Amino acid sequence: MQSILYLDTETYNEQPISKGVYAYAETVETMLFQYAFNDSPVYVVDLANGDAFPQEVINLLLNPKVILFAQNSMFDRTVLARGNLFKGRPDIVKAISDPNRWRDSMVIAYAHSLKGGLGDLCEIFKLDNDQAKDKEGKALVQLFCKPRPKTSKIRRATRKTHPGDWDKFKHYATQDIVSMREVVKRMPNWNMQEGSTELQLWHLDQRINDRGVCIDVDLAEKAVECIDVEQQRLADETHTMTDGEVQTATQRDAMLKHIAGAYGITLSDLTAATIERRLGDPDLPDGLKELLAVRQQASTTSTSKYKALLNRVNSDGRLRGTLQFMGAPRTGRWAGRGFQPQNLTRPTLPQWQIDLGIEAIKSGNADLLTDNIMKLTSNTLRGCICAPEGKKLVVSDLSNIEGRVLAWLAGESWKIKAFHDYDNGEGHDLYKLSYSKSFGVSPESVTKDQRQIGKVQELALGYEGGVGAFITFSTAYGIDLDAMADAALHNVDEDILFSAKNAYEWALKNKRTYGLSDKAYIVCDAFKRSWRQAHPNIVDLWKSLDCDMRSVITGGARTTNVNDKLVIDKVGAWLRIQLPSGRYLCYPGARIDENGKISYMGLNTYSRKWERINTYGGKIAENITQAVARDVMAWSMPCIDEIGFNIVLTVHDEIITEAPDTPEYSHEYLSQMLSTPPQWAKGLPLAAAGFEAYRYKKD
């Protein structure tokens, strides 16, 4: 039996946790330390009121054979290792700092498609009241762990000011250990077993988070100053243009009311897509165009990331804790925390102009370079991530990884060959090839912007998506669907065009046209039909996954094998899909509903609620494809990090590393490692490309 020390901490800090745990830990005070050894009773050390830290616990912390178990362990490990509790005891700090010692109930939950919060897990597993997380604990944390509001007579609540609540607080601390220990017993652990690849990968993830990424703080600070000045200028301009009816361009309701009253035009919203479409309307009054252009500039949301970045950067100029292991529900991809580099907008300026913009912002002369400060600062945001002195950033990105994985999983042989040919310099880029087939032009003539349309086709249609999916991706990539339809309509196969026109008539009758013009809808639907016709094995994969999941759920089969790459089975209430890597995708509570749809219990990514979610063959294929793509990247990461390409971030399918500024640490070498297929992915066509720079950019 393993020796496990379950532990938790309750802390106080004048600084908010919203600054990130690493910045929080620099000024933290640990008030309570609660623990239990294996199945023994839970003890609470009241450090805030003079309790001595037990020597027996120190001995356990120093014992490398004892596993340290916590809920959201990054918090406790960081607070204990970087806070003041063990200041002067480097031996304890070193022992605690080692990620290999730790296990985490939240991470285990994420690895099996569960919500990560302890209270949520208690509800999911229906723990009894004596085992469940104390629901009153949130109010007690607010009371004791944060400064009191300015209106309060006291700055800080303590045992002296709230003796009864302090006793309840200690009980809450005890109950958290009880709940965590019970939840761990009830959760499956197929993906995080001792010695597993995923456990080792999580330990690497923790070292990456500890390492952090170097930030150009001066650029971020100057950008914020620049943005604040520009926001005020835009507010003044809005105030003048609306005769004082609207104070700032970001006041949505006031702006809509003014537009309706002053111009007689009713807009349903002021989203970026709506404004972009209206600005292209030649009949729109010039005054309204100017006002909407001001609104468009003032609403550039990416600029707020500068403040989020500065809010979380540590005193040494590095930003830590930006990655959440297994943070993406179901697929297991990394998610962002805080600054969230995964959500940075695509640059709209050429890189040379961005580089000039960075220098202009830092020198305080941005207004001399451009009349659109908000656009410039949105484009320069990536440049805040930089290499420390004596190092460089070496970056590599897996090329079209989802398209490659999907073709490989489905056995779409012509497409696998096309990828291999392109990688060997004998074929065409698949996005360009997709565009050329749809528009009747040669692949060689496809421009970078046209390639984006081909990319949208591949991304939108590969998972059983139709017109709606095509619209979603087109919006994200800024594609004008009417202009696209004009260019493509004459090249559509007559039989497919006939079917697409019938589909439009049905959509029109059922009010399902998504507001598209007839030609745009017909071309989008024709693209869908053409794509499916060209990819029969992928279409068969969607059908097989749907059919096999139904068979396993209903008990028609105990286990099924899909294309000798995937295994579907059911353990209790859990439907599992074993990936080629050996990792499981998990669908808790999977069933066939009365309406005949497959559903399971999961986290709704929009409402953030734990609820029943419907799925289908194409969506399951998407989950699997993205999960395999993640596993491909993850497989190479330990080796990449070990040989000196120190990983500081992952952004989707891209790895960002800090390396010595010497020739042997090249992006070609990094790309070679990243594109080497794992042993379990024989025949998967992989390719990667990258760059070296002193600032992060979109290559």
pLDDT in tens, 205-261: 999 999 999 999 999 999 999 888 888 887 887 888 888 887 887 777 887 888 887
Q: What is the mean pLDDT of the chain?
A: 90
Over residues 506-515, the mean pLDDT reads 91
> In angstroms, rounded to a whole number, what is the distance separating the alpha carbons of residues 404 and 294?
42
Tokens in use for 435? 């565009």
Going from the C-alpha of 248 to that of each of 284, 295, 335, the distances in angstroms are 22, 9, 33
Distance CA 586, CA 608 (A): 18
Give the C-alpha separation, 296 to 378, whole Å.
Answer: 13
β-partners of residue 567 are 561, 578
Higher pLDDT, 4 or 437: 4
Report the pLDDT value the prediction gives residue 308, as an integer from 0 to 100. Answer: 86
- What pTM did the predictor assign? 0.90
pLDDT grade, residue 134 (50/70/90)?
A: low
More confident residue, 39 or 244: 39
Question: HSE of 22 in the Cβ direction (CA atoms, 13 Å)?
Answer: 24
Summarised one tens digit per residue, pLDDT across range 518-556 is: 999 998 999 889 889 889 999 999 999 999 999 999 998
Exposed (0-12), middle (13-18) or buried (19+): which is 312, by Cβ within 10 Å? buried
- Which tens digits make up the pLDDT trace of 434-493? 888 777 788 888 888 788 888 888 888 999 999 999 888 888 788 888 888 888 888 888
């745990």: which residue's tokens?
21
> Which position has the token pair 């709704």?
604
Answer whether residue 413 shows pLDDT above 90. Answer: yes
Per-residue confidence (pLDDT) for residue 587, from 0 to 100: 96
Residue 671 to residue 217: CA distance in whole angstroms: 29
State the Cα–Cα distance between residues 216 and 432, nearest whole angstrom: 37
Residue 467 and residue 525 in contact, taking contact as beta carbons nearer than 8 Å: yes
The answer to whether residue 263 scores a pLDDT higher than 70 is yes
Strand order in the sheet with 391-398: 646-651, 654-660, 391-398, 688-693
% pLDDT > 70, the chain: 98
pLDDT band at 603 (very low <50, low <70, confident <90, very high): confident
Q: Give me the pLDDT at residue 237, please.
A: 79
Residue 606, class by beta-carbon neighbours within 10 Å (0-12 exposed, 13-18 middle, 19+ buried)?
exposed
Q: Write the DSSP string, 175-203.
A: HHHHHHHHHHHHS--SSS-TT-HHHHHHH
Structural domain spans, the chain: 4-187, 213-321+347-384, 413-534
CA distance to 300, 349, 476, 567, per residue, from 272 (Å)? 9, 18, 11, 43
Q: What is the pLDDT of residue 255?
A: 78
373: closest CA among 361, 382, 356?
361
Q: How many CB atoms lie within 10 A of CB 559?
A: 13
Please give the structure tokens belonging to residue 15.
Answer: 């600084």
Q: How far is residue 659's CA from residue 392's CA, in Å, rounded to a whole number?
A: 6
So what's the pLDDT on residue 366? 87
* pLDDT tens digits for range 276-325: 777 777 777 778 778 877 777 777 766 678 988 898 999 999 999 999 99
Residue range 622-641: average pLDDT?
97
Q: What's the 3-state SS for 113-173?
A: CCCCCHHHHHHHCCCCCCCCCCCCHHHHHHHHCCCCCCCCCCCCCCCCCCHHHHHHHHHHH
User: Is-contact 74 206, C-beta < 8 A?
Assistant: yes
Helix axes 217-241, 373-380, angle to 10 degrees: 150
pLDDT digits (tens, 9 = 90+) for 565-592: 999 999 999 999 999 999 999 999 999 9
Structure token digits, residue 101: 């010692």
| d(C-alpha 579, C-alpha 624), whole Å | 7
Of 63-77, 179-193, 355-369, 629-643, where does mean pLDDT reach its minimum?
Answer: 355-369
Find the length of the chain. Answer: 699
CATH class of segment(s) 4-187: alpha beta
DSSP conformation letters of 47-67: GGGTPPPPHHHHHHHH-TTSE
Q: 490: how many CB neighbours lie within 10 A of its CB?
A: 9
Ramachandran assignment for 284, one of left (phi > 0), alpha (psi -120 to 50 degrees), beta (any other): beta
- Secondary structure of residue 665 in the 3-state scheme: coil
Q: What is the pLDDT of residue 201?
A: 97
Mean local confidence (pLDDT), 116-145: 84
- List Cβ neighbours of 475 (8 Å cut-off, separation of 6 or more): 273
Asked whether the beta carbons of 461 and 483 are under 8 A apart, the reply is no
Burial of 385 (0-12, 13-18, 19+ CB in 10 A): buried
Residue 84 has pLDDT above 80, yes or no: yes
**Cα torsion angle, 533, 537, 543, 545, sign:** negative
Band the pLDDT of 637: cuts 50, 70, 90.
very high
pLDDT tens by residue, 642-680: 999 999 999 999 999 999 999 999 999 999 999 999 999
Measure the CA–CA gap between 52 and 355, rounded to whole angstroms. 55
Q: Is the pLDDT of residue 384 over 70?
A: yes
Q: In the 3-class helix/strand/coil scheme, how is 321-341 assigned residue by residue?
A: CCEECCCCCCCCCCEECCCCH
Residues facing 659 on adjacent strands: 392
Cα–Cα distance, 332 to 552 (Å, whole number)? 23
SS3 of residue 485 by DSSP: helix
Cα torsion through 47, 48, 51, 52, rounded to 10: 50
CA-CA-CA-CA torsion for 414, 416, 417, 423, nearest 10 degrees? 150
